């Protein structure tokens, strides 16, 4: 059976002829997307490694879309974390 469109895209970006479900690959990324739920987790992990920058700031998009407008203090803190990281 042939590859799905997603598998074809992943294979091309990984420099492989073929990829299969469950296979771990290393691929060149066009864009990395984070939101107000996932980004604070990644930002805190980067802080543990004392990382000062991302691999390519032009390929990162951080979008606060779950907690806007903020429903409580915790969601406001998540969005603040994302805004501060963007600065």
35 Cβ neighbours under 8 A, 6+ residues apart: 62, 63, 64, 65, 66
Hey, where are the domains in the chain? 1-28, 31-87
User: How many beta carbons lie within 10 A of that of residue 27, not counting itself?
Assistant: 14
Tens place of pLDDT for every residue, the chain, 87 residues? Answer: 799 999 999 999 999 999 999 999 999 999 999 999 999 999 999 999 988 888 899 999 999 999 889 999 999 999 999 999 998
Q: Is the entire prediction scored with pTM above 0.75?
A: no
């Amino acid at each position: 059976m042939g590859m799905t469109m997603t598998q074809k895209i992943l294979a091309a970006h990984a420099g492989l002829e073929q990829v299969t479900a469950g296979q771990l690959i290393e691929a060149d990324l066009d864009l990395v997307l984070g939101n107000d739920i996932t980004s604070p987790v990644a930002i805190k992990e980067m802080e543990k490694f004392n990382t000062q920058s991302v691999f390519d700031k032009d390929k990162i998009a951080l979008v606060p879309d779950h907690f806007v407008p903020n429903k409580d203090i915790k969601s406001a803190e998540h969005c603040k974390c994302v805004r501060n990281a963007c600065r």
